[in-house]
Structure 1
Amino acid sequence: MRRADNRGLLRGVKVPIATFKNKVFQVSSNIKYPLDGLAWSSALSSEAQEKLKSKPSTYIKGEALIPLSFTIPLFATLGINVRKEIESWQDILSKQLPDYFILGSKPISKNKFLLKSVGVSDTQIDGKGNMLKATLKLDFEEYVRAGKAEVKKEENKTATNNNIQPSTYITKPTTKAEVKRENPNASEAFLKLYLKGE
């Protein structure tokens, strides 16, 4: 039966530094895939509410999501295909699938982490375009559950009817009385008829 020594190692088996998905961070005689500058923080999400003639009240919303970040030094001299390794992390980001980040043998959080950005710096490239070294900067965020897209309420707009017609219409007169009213010369014609005795 294998026994663990005081360094957390099993005989003949090296405990990984950390793991995320299929990535195993480990340093041994034949594997050199370390991580540097591992950092994360916990915080409360709160809101200051103004109060007249007094200091603001504090409304505590709850725990904020945990940010996590670290860098990975990549060297072709250690047997790492630098370009391929960068692309593999970009592929993890593109799939948008969170997973647990295990440090040693224990998760950093009870929740999973989502890879949010992959940065490449400190590159060295040979004359044929091969990447000899690079530094990967990875940023994660704690993932509790899937959210929903916010639906913006459309403002009520007054509909404009382009087929509005005038409320009154000019129509042709249908009776003699209407003809007289509509004809500006009707009074003059009537006067002439009256003088003729008709």
Structure 2
Amino acid sequence: MTREISGRWAIHETMGAKPKAEFLGPGLQSVTLPIYLSAGLGVRPRTVLERVEGMVEAGTAEYLVIGNRPVGGNPFRLTGSSETWNTIFNRGELAKATLSITLEEYA
């Protein structure tokens, strides 16, 4: 998991002096999460990919919980996903896939 936390800043130009920086407040946090899906580990990769696709297209926002603790203080919205189909059996059954999801804080 990669988590990015930032602040929002404005730069004001001044005549004959260096620009002045002004802190506006915290920025939105973002998370990128790679996920390995394998039928051998008891999941149905295609079902998970379809659910994630539905969440991206519906604009769903949920709390991100890892280890029974929420990440950040606000829910995150799923802004995008990228999938790689690694192993497909001869009848078209997806056995292994790699999924990367991108989340942004929903304040």
1:140 paired with 2:103, answer yes
Structure 2 residues not aligned, in runs of 5+ = none
1:115 equivalent among 42, 55, 78:
78
The one-letter code of the counterpart of 2:102 is: D
The size of the alignment, in residue pairs, is: 107
Matched residue, 1:79: 42
1:125 corresponds, among 88, 91, 102, to 88
Deviation string 1:43-96 (CA, Å, 9 cap, x unpaired) is 111121111221111122211000011111011222221111110111122221
Larger radius of gyration: 1
Distance 2:85 2:97 in 1: 5
Letter in 2 for 1:94: E
Structure 1: which 5+ residue stretches go unaligned?
A: 1-37, 145-198
Q: Which has the higher contact order (CA 8 A, sep 6+)?
A: 2
- Matches for 1:99-114 after TM superposition, within 5 Å: 99-114=62-77
The answer (yes or no) to whether the contact 2:77–2:106 under 8 Å persists in 1 is: yes
TM superposition shift of 1:122: 5.1
1:42 aligns with 5
With normalisation by structure 1, the TM-score equals: 0.51
Q: Which residue in the other structure is 1:61 paired with? A: 24
Residue 132 of structure 1: SS of its match in structure 2?
strand
Give me the TM-score of the superposition, normalised by structure 2. Answer: 0.90
Query: 2:85, 2:94 within 8 Å by CA — same for their partners in 1?
Result: no
Percent of counterpart pairs with the same letter? 25
- RMSD of equivalent CA atoms: 1.4
Q: As a proportion of its length, which structure holds more strand?
A: 2
